[in-house]
């Protein structure tokens, strides 16, 4: 979908559909009042008669309005001002659902007059655009009968003159982020029999064909062996699918300034291995590659925007399967860093594929490294599916990531990485065990990673809860944390 911005008096916006947000219990905004006047007081009458109460996310379509340049008017209730992010999303979703049923290609939305708590016009526009994109997203590749695709392909934001530049920038950023999120969602929704490690590698290679300043290198098992990546290899051992370490390098900066590095967990299916998971809901473990997919999605957004920064994106990909060749509980492997690991639970595989990738990225002398992983069920228990877990070794970096999440409406929350937790990883037989105890699972997982990230500022995002929407009509990948990561890049230009 195309996002654009214009400035114009509301009654002069020439469009197939004008979406007009209206707050309850307050006079019409200036734009709404101007429309009302051009419409012979029709809006005020609808409100006075109680035909439109402006309750949250309610909609009323006025199909053939006369006296204004727009052909149709869609009133959207906002409830009481100001709006929260969540309420804004709900009303945008309701408006877009209503708009997509019409035979139109373009809709315009009056942003002017919309009040959202602690958000300026740039951020409001981003929020609306990204929600509109999510509402229109469909994944029907495997449906024999597809629902007819919506015609709606442009959303235009009508803003005050003073906000035009900000809204234009927001529209362009949101469009790139939306593309990135959709890419990430598609990959997360693909089943494990299609989206395996080599498939993810091919996606990166395709991206490098599409954009000139991206180069891609793919390491196979042999290369991993020569690098001594014993942990990554141990996870892949039980699978017929070979592992892949995919390294994408984007050169957007004019100089050879230090890159930012993103490292994503790419377990294309997580059965648990010999420490087999229970059967119920195991199908969802196809989304255990969403960390990697979010690296691809963020790379896509950055490529679209051609941001002036150097960015390294790494996907550490394997399939975690049980078999006669699979790693056993108790097996000891040597990581690329030289540290040995006792694999007490083969289901704690994410940290194993990540640790070697985290050692590998040292060669890029990154100014910061962020890893993204559907790492622990414990993170779902702690934070649910709304907030990503965040831990790391550099307070300044952590604060930057938190701020990016807030700006992007893709929030994270810091958990402590106190030294006291480290002893849970003590092993009698090797340098480190791959699991801690029963408690603080998200923290002990990060403790494990912290043993491999001592040489650079590092932050870890646990997206086990946020990368996927479980059950219900919206079941599927969420595209998170592409907005947070892209925002982080934007904030670091
Ligand atoms: N991929 C899972 C984590 C996960 C669980 C993600 C649920 C999304 C939803 C990860 O590989 C895993 O199995 N972690 C174990 C770690 C444990 C064995 C220490 C877990 O969380 O149970
Ligand atoms: Mn697992
Ligand atoms: Zn996993």
* Cα–Cα distance for residue pair 385/379, rounded to 1 Å: 9
Q: Which ligand is nearest to the CA of 424?
A: 1
Global confidence as pTM: 0.98
Of 270, 249, 260, 153, nearest to 204 (Cα)? 249
Up-side HSE of residue 54: CA atoms within 13 Å toward CB? Answer: 23
Q: Are strands 412-414 and 310-320 parallel, antiparallel or unpaired?
A: unpaired
Mean pLDDT of 247-275: 97
Ligand 1 pocket mutation pick from 376, 381, 436 by most atoms within 8 angstroms of CB = 376
Which run of H or E residues covers position 359?
A: helix 350-360
Residue 280 is classified by DSSP as T
Locate the ligand 1 atom nearest the alpha carbon of residue 287 and give its number.
8
Give the number of the ligand closest to the Cα of residue 266. 3
- Nearest Cα to Cα of residue 367 among 261, 461, 451, 446: 261
How many angstroms separate the alpha carbon of residue 444 from the centre of ligand 3?
A: 15
If you count DSSP H runs as helices and E runs as strands, how many of each does the chain have, helices first? 14, 19
Give catalytic residue positions.
277, 351
> What distances in angstroms separate CA 98 from CA 83, 93, 229, 354, 392, one per listed residue?
20, 9, 52, 43, 43
Please state the atom number of ligand 1 nearest to the C-alpha of residue 267. 1
Task: For the beta carbon of residue 483, count every other beta carbon within 10 angstroms.
Answer: 29
Query: What is the C-alpha separation between 336 and 245, in angstroms, rounded?
Result: 13
How far is Cα 164 from Cα 475, in angstroms, rounded to an integer? Answer: 36
Q: What pLDDT score does 474 carry?
A: 87
Q: What's the whole-number mean pLDDT along residues 233-240?
A: 98
Does 254 score more than 90 pLDDT? no
Whether 130 is in the pocket of ligand 1, judged by its Cβ within 6 Å, is no
**Coil, strand, or helix at residue 186?**
helix
Averaged pLDDT for residues 16-22: 97
445 CA distance to ligand 3 centroid (A)?
12
Express as a percent the part of the chain with pLDDT over 90: 97
Nearest one of 180, 409, 126 to 301, comparing CA atoms:
180
Ligand with the closest atom to the CA of 434: 1
8 A C-beta contact, residue 221 and residue 242? yes
CA distance 35 to 27: 13
Per-residue pLDDT, 173: 98
Please give the Cα distance from 62 to 18 (Å, whole number): 10
Spatial distance between the Cα atoms of 167 and 6, rounded to a whole number of angstroms = 8
**Alpha helices (H) along 190-250:** 197-210, 221-227, 230-236
CA-proximal residue: ligand 1, atom 5 (nearest): 377
Q: What is the mean pLDDT of residues 411-436?
A: 98
Write out the E strands in 236-329: 244-251, 260-270, 310-320
Distance 375 CA to ligand 1 centre (A): 6
Q: Which domains does the chain have, with CATH numbers?
A: 2-159 (3.40.220.10), 181-491 (3.40.630.10)
The answer to whether the CB of 378 is under 6 A from ligand 1 is yes
Asked if residue 374 has its Cβ within 6 Å of ligand 1, the reply is yes
Average pLDDT of the chain to the nearest whole number:
97
**347 Cβ below 6 A of ligand 1:** yes
**What residues contact residue 66 under an 8 Å CB cut-off, 6+ apart?**
39
Does ligand 1 come within 6 angstroms of the Cβ of 21? Answer: no
Using most ligand atoms within 8 A of CB, pick from 277, 294, 347 the residue to mutate for ligand 1: 347
- Write the pLDDT tens digit of every residue in 292-346: 999 999 999 999 999 999 999 999 999 999 999 999 999 999 999 999 999 999 9
Provide ipTM, 2 decimals: 0.99
Give strand ranges (E) for 271-402: 310-320, 331-334, 340-343, 368-373, 388-392
What does the pLDDT read at residue 410?
Answer: 98
Contact 9, 34 (CB under 8 A): yes
Q: Give the ligand with the smallest distance to the CA of 345.
A: 1
| Percent of the residues in the chain that have a pLDDT greater than 70, as a whole number | 100
Q: Which atom of ligand 1 lies closest to the CA of 277?
A: 13
pLDDT band of residue 471 (cuts 50, 70, 90) is confident
Ligand 1 pocket, residue 22 CB under 6 Å: no
Q: Are 312 and 367 spatial neighbours (Cβ–Cβ below 8 Å)?
A: no
pLDDT in tens, 66-94: 999 999 999 999 999 999 999 999 999 99
Residues contributing to the annotated binding site for Mn(2+)? 265, 270, 288, 347, 349
Tokens 């290198």 identify what position? 217
What residue owns the CA closest to ligand 1's atom 14? Answer: 376
* Helix, strand, coil tally for the chain in percent (to 5): 40, 20, 40
Contact 252, 310 (CB under 8 A): yes
> What's the whole-number mean pLDDT along residues 390-410?
98
In this prediction, residue 127 has a pLDDT band, given cuts at 50, 70 and 90, of very high
Does the beta carbon of 350 sit less than 6 angstroms from any atom of ligand 1?
yes
Please give the distance, rounded to the nearest whole angstrom, from the Cα atom of residue 348 to the centre of ligand 2. Answer: 5
- Over residues 189-208, mean pLDDT: 98
| Confidence at residue 281, expressed as pLDDT on a 0 to 100 scale | 92
Determine the Cα–Cα distance for residues 354 and 370; give it in Å rounded to an integer: 11
């Amino acid at each position: 979908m195309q996002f654009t911005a214009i400035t114009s008096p509301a009654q002069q916006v020439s469009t197939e559909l004008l979406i007009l947000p209206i707050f309850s219990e307050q006079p019409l905004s200036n734009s709404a009042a101007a429309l009302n006047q051009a419409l012979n007081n029709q809006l005020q009458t609808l409100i006075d008669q109680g035909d439109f109460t402006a309750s949250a996310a309610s909609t009323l379509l006025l199909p053939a309005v006369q006296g204004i340049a727009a052909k149709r008017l869609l009133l959207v209730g906002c409830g009481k001002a100001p709006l929260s992010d969540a309420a804004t999303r709900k009303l945008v979703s309701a408006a877009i659902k209503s708009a997509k049923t019409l035979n139109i290609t373009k809709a315009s939305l009056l942003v002017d007059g919309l009040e959202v708590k602690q958000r300026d016009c740039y951020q409001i526009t981003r929020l609306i655009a990204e929600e509109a994109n999510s509402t229109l997203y469909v994944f029907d590749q495997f449906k024999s009968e597809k629902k007819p695709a919506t015609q709606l392909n442009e959303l235009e934001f009508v803003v005050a003159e003073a906000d035009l530049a900000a809204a234009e920038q927001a529209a362009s950023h949101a469009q790139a982020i939306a593309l990135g999120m959709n890419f990430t969602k598609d990959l997360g929704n693909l089943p494990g029999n299609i989206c395996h490690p080599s498939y993810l590698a091919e996606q990166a290679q395709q991206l490098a064909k599409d954009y000139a300043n991206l180069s891609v290198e793919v390491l196979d098992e042999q290369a991993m062996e020569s690098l001594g990546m014993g942990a990554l290899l141990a996870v892949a051992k039980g699978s017929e699918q070979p592992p892949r370490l995919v390294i994408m390098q984007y050169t957007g900066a004019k100089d050879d300034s230090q890159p930012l590095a993103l490292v994503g967990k790419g377990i294309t299916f997580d059965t648990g291995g010999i420490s087999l998971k229970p059967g119920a809901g195991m199908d969802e473990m196809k989304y255990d590659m969403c960390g990697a997919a979010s690296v691809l999605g963020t790379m896509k957004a950055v490529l679209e925007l051609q941001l002036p920064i150097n960015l390294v994106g790494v996907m550490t990909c394997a399939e975690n399967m049980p078999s006669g060749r699979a790693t056993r509980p108790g097996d000891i492997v040597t990581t690329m860093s030289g540290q040995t690991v006792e694999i007490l639970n083969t289901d704690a595989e994410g940290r194993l594929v990540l640790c070697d990738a985290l050692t590998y990225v040292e060669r890029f002398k990154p100014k910061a490294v962020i890893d993204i992983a559907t790492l622990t069920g414990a993170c779902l228990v702690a934070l649910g599916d709304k907030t990503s877990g965040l831990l790391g070794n550099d307070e300044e970096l952590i604060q930057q990531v938190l701020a990016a999440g807030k700006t992007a409406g893709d929030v994270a929350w810091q958990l402590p990485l106190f030294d006291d937790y480290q002893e849970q990883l003590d092993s009698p037989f090797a340098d480190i065990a791959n699991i801690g105890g029963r408690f603080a699972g998200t923290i002990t997982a990060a403790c494990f990673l912290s043993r491999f990230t001592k040489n650079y500022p590092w932050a870890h995002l646990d997206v086990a809860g946020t990368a996927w929407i479980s059950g219900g009509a919206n079941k599927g990948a969420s595209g998170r944390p592409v907005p947070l990561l892209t925002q982080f890049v934007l904030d670091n230009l």
